[in-house]
Amino acid sequence: MSANIGAPAPEFSLKDQDQKEVKLSDFRGKKRVVLVFYPLDWSPTCTKEHACMVNDKKQFDQLDAQVLGISVDSVWSHKAYAEKMGIHYPLLADFHPRGAVAAKYGVYLEDKGITGRAIFIIDRDGKLAWHKNYDIPVVPDIGEVSKALAAVK
């Protein structure tokens, strides 16, 4: 399945790096959500991507959006990675069943056992407003994401 613009975003409930359960519905009616699907903690491209997100987090805060990182890594990997990288937004463990949430969004790469690189913006009503898939070795243009986010009501 792949997610379509204007359709309700597939619901999920995953644990973050602090073992806290995070549901997409927690943000409905409150904030826009930027879902950052990425292959693996600790990989060079993902590390650059998260460094950009950390550096631009204030911009996302000003646009009243919650950033959520999602990969197939475990809660424990996320915890160590978040501490090392200074990440203060939730990193969600799509660990078991492996890639189940990424599959709902059409970005799980089953042959590789990892999440593809993609960003989805979900509006306050819980509908998909924007998304873009990226090649694994490409760091997403955070400015492009911010611009798309600013256009979402």
Residue-level pLDDT at 131: 95
State pLDDT tens for residues 24-39. Answer: 999 999 999 999 999 9
Residue-level pLDDT at 1: 47
Average pLDDT over residues 129-140: 91
Residue-level pLDDT at 2: 59
| Cis peptide bond N-terminal to 97, omega within 30 | yes
State pLDDT tens for residues 53-98. Answer: 877 778 888 889 999 999 999 999 999 999 999 999 999 999 999 9
Q: In terms of pLDDT, which residue wins out, 48 or 132?
A: 132
Parse the chain into domains and list their residue ranges.
13-135
Q: DSSP states of the chain as a string?
A: ----TTSBPPP-EEE-TTS-EEEGGGGTTT-EEEEEE-S-TT-HHHHHHHHHHHHTHHHHHHTTEEEEEEESS-HHHHHHHHHHHT--S-EEE-TTTTTHHHHHTT-EETTTTEEPEEEEEE-TTSBEEEEEEE-TTPPP-HHHHHHHHHT--
State pLDDT tens for residues 38-47. Answer: 999 988 776 7
Which overall architecture, per CATH, does domain 13-135 show?
3-Layer(aba) Sandwich (3.40)
- CA dist 28 and 114 (Å) reads 28
Residue-level pLDDT at 4: 85
Active site residues: 46
Closest CA to 93 of 72, 76, 108, 110: 72
CA dihedral for 30, 36, 37, 43, sign (positive or negative): negative
- CA dist 45 and 66 (Å) reads 22
Q: Is 27 exposed, middle or buried (0-12, 13-18, 19+ CB in 10 A)?
A: middle
Residue-level pLDDT at 53: 81
